[in-house]
Amino acid sequence: MIHVFLLLVYLGTGEHRKLTSGDMFFYDINDCQYFAKRVSKAHGNYQYSAWVDPKDRVTAYCVPRKVPTDSVKVY
């Protein structure tokens, strides 16, 4: 078992929120946060939130997880 960081990507807000990706594991928190930032910046820009439908908003963040070394691909 090793400790890694799992990137979670959600699409939508409120009742529309659903997990769209929860299978990307990273050894380094900085790598995980890089991709979380890039995904949410490319598709989750809320500067003009009135123009973005709530079901199309993207939220991405990293959480620590402990996984078996032989069962998941870790980047």
Dihedral sign, CA of 25, 28, 29, 32? Answer: negative
Please state the pTM of the whole predicted model: 0.83
**pLDDT tens-digit series, residues 55-70:** 778 899 999 999 998 8
- The mean of the pLDDT values for the chain is 88
62 contact partners, CB below 8 Å, separation of at least 6: 5, 6, 7, 8, 26, 29, 32, 33, 36
SS3 51: helix
Q: Higher-confidence residue: 39 or 27?
A: 27
Span 36-63, average pLDDT: 77
Residue 43 in this model has a pLDDT that exceeds 70: no
